[in-house]
């Protein structure tokens, strides 16, 4: 996700962009195609940044880069961290309570994205933001390079809470699509005509528009992996449990994704859920 997002951002001539990936070869590849500079961790490096944009796998990755490797110390006073990762609320509390964040008055924004790898490549992501108001207009100008929708939901944490809602809705849709498609195929229906008949009605969704045909063909190489959905659903369901909510269907879907992981399908995209219905 971060690779194409940074690519779009590099076209902004007003920004001097430094990029970093934990896999050095990816940084090198990116720099061969886009304008920017490679960032390297060096205690002697004197450069200080006006802001930091992060897009990483999970809480542990963010803590490692920001805190353990001390990337926070490379930020100027009164700057920002814009985090496009999907994380827990505990991670946000940890970052906001960091002594360097407080001392430098750095504004942290939880700004997870939706739209998948295709959305990142095409620059049409949807972004949900939690954090203070003070830098939102400026950040929206930056994020417009790789997004079509930017909504400031509310204070710190509200971006991640909105992403939890998003992931629960997506998981439910994929489960329903899996079951509907399987029924249609088992009955010998012409599934292209089925799609034509229902895609403009109440069943229409992004998942249907973008995954119906590939699920029929059993093609599951479209970016957002089963292993990442498991991580996201765990975060959402833990939050629901704290609020005494019984999300029965979402819990069942999580167990289904875990079954796929056990079968060795953790790297397939989330629409591979249909494999369990067919077996």
> Which residues are the active-site residues?
163
The Cβ of residue 160 has, within 10 Å, a number of other Cβ atoms equal to: 25
Contact between 272 and 174 under an 8 Å Cβ cutoff? The reply is: no
Contact between 268 and 220 under an 8 Å Cβ cutoff? The reply is: yes
Query: CA 246, CA 244: separation in Å to the nearest integer?
Result: 7
Query: CA 276, CA 129: separation in Å to the nearest integer?
Result: 35
Query: CA 37, CA 24: separation in Å to the nearest integer?
Result: 13
Please classify residue 116 by burial: count the beta carbons closer than 10 Å to its beta carbon, then call 0-12 exposed, 13-18 middle and 19+ buried: buried
Report angle CA 207, 209, 211 to the nearest 5 degrees: 55
């Amino acid at each position: 996700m971060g690779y194409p997002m940074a690519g779009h951002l590099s076209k902004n001539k007003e920004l001097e962009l430094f990029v970093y990936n934990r896999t050095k070869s990816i940084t090198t590849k990116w720099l061969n195609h886009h304008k920017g500079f490679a960032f390297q961790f060096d205690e002697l490096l004197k450069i200080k940044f006006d802001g930091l944009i992060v897009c990483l796998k999970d809480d542990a990755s963010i803590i490692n880069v920001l805190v353990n490797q001390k990337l926070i110390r490379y930020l100027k006073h009164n700057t920002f961290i814009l985090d496009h990762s999907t994380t827990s609320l505990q991670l946000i509390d940890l970052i906001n309570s960091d002594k360097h964040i407080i001392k430098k008055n750095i504004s942290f924004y939880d700004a997870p994205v939706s739209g998948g790898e295709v959305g990142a490549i095409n620059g049409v992501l949807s972004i949900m933001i939690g954090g203070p108001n003070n830098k939102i207009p400026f950040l929206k100008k930056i994020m417009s390079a790789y997004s079509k929708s930017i909504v400031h939901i509310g204070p710190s944490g509200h971006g991640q809470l909105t992403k939890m809602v998003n992931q629960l809705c997506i998981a439910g849709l994929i489960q329903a699509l899996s079951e509907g498609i399987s029924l249609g195929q088992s009955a010998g229906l012409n599934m292209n005509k089925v799609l034509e008949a229902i895609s403009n009605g109440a069943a229409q969704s992004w998942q249907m528009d973008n995954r119906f045909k590939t699920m029929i063909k059993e093609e599951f190489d479209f970016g957002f992996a089963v292993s990442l959905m498991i991580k996201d659903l765990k975060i959402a369901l833990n939050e629901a449990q704290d609020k005494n909510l019984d999300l029965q269907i979402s819990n069942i879907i999580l167990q289904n994704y875990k079954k796929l992981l056990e079968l060795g399908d953790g790297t397939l995209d989330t629409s591979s859920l249909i494999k369990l219905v067919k077996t």
